[in-house]
Amino acid sequence: MQQQKVALLGYGAIGQEIIKSCRLMPLGPQIDTVIVRRAACQETAHALGSGIRVCSELPADINLLIECAGHEAVRTTVLDALRSGVESAIVSSGALHDAQLTQDLEQAAIEGRTRLHILSGAIGGIDALAAAQRLGLDSVVYRGRKPPNAWKGTAAENSIDLTTLHGPVTFFSGSARLAVATFPKNANVAATVSLAGIGFDRTQVQLIADPDMTENTHEFHAKGVFGEMQIRMSIKPLAKNPKTSALTVWSAIRFLQSKSLGLII
């Protein structure tokens, strides 16, 4: 197998946890390079210490890119990486609610003779949902339920007072495309479910703030020719970012590990 030279795009809460977890597995996948904005290079290099290169652009020797930097990074660095033939995997699946960007990414991967992987993140059953889509899906409904503090700083604050809730409140109900556009930092799971299933316009989304919750709960209910399935997962949030589920980090690490294994499940 080709030796992997891995770059991590972004060094926020997810990126920091990926680096930390990889360092605890010396025989596992390792990150060679971290890519951040030019203004953040010095601070990031100081935080990482020796052993990991810090750049503001993708180095020529990288052959695998893991994105955890947000939608704009998918539009720029990931798109350029694919055109250059660099295999890439993204956490920010919500960026693909933009149909034109999705087409551009697919074309870039074809031109570069490589692949773009959408990481499953904080939800399970994506393989089963994608298989069911081949048979035919009639409906998919996704519900995202999080503690109120996970919705702070989002459009949820325009419709409800997150500080005075006494019970669960559904503050958004609509298409996945609208959900991802309105809540870009909270709706990557909805985007992943949409991509595996019946698309952003037909997938229905409900977003809920629940003061009785201490974890982030993701669930989807799908019906179709195959039958019916329901997946529900309650995941602990990242300590540094309550908007993100901790399992997202291990989704990325599992992908990295799979690149060096002869048997994958």
Q: How far apart are CA 123 and CA 249, in angstroms?
A: 12
The CATH architecture to which 126-244 belongs is 2-Layer Sandwich (3.30)
Any bridge partners for residue 35, and if so which?
A: 9, 55
pLDDT tens figures, 81-121: 999 999 999 999 999 999 999 999 999 999 999 999 999 99
Q: How far apart are CA 207 and CA 146, in angstroms?
A: 8
Provide the angle, in degrees to the nearest 10, between the axes of the packed helices 188-196 and 126-135.
Answer: 40
> In the annotation, is 117 catalytic?
no
Q: What is the DSSP string of 50-91?
A: TTSEEESS--TT--EEEE-S-HHHIIIIIHHHHHTT-EEEES
Q: Supply the mean pLDDT for the chain.
A: 93
The CATH classification of domain 6-118, taken from the options 3.30.465.10, 3.40.50.300, 2.40.50.1020, 3.40.50.720: 3.40.50.720
Q: Max CA-CA distance within the chain?
A: 55
Same fold, 6-118 and 126-244: no
**pLDDT bracket for residue 80 (50, 70, 90):** very high
Any bridge partners for residue 54, and if so which?
A: 34
- Active-site residue, selected from the candidate residues 46, 71, 166, 218: 218
- Tokens standing for residue 225: 């020719």
Average pLDDT over residues 12-41: 90
Does the reported pTM lie above 0.75? yes
Taking residue 101's Cβ as centre, other Cβ atoms within 10 Å add up to 16
**pLDDT bracket for residue 185 (50, 70, 90):** confident
pLDDT of residue 28: 67
pLDDT of residue 10: 97
Q: How far apart are CA 175 and CA 199, in angstroms?
A: 10
**pLDDT bracket for residue 2 (50, 70, 90):** low
Q: How far apart are CA 151 and CA 132, in angstroms?
A: 32
pLDDT of residue 78: 98
Please state, for a pLDDT cut of 90, what percent of the chain lies above it.
83
Domain boundaries, the chain: 6-118, 126-244
Number of residues that make up the chain: 265
Q: How far apart are CA 32 and CA 166, in angstroms?
A: 47
Res 262 pLDDT > 90: no
Res 19 pLDDT > 90: yes
Any bridge partners for residue 143, and if so which?
A: 206, 219
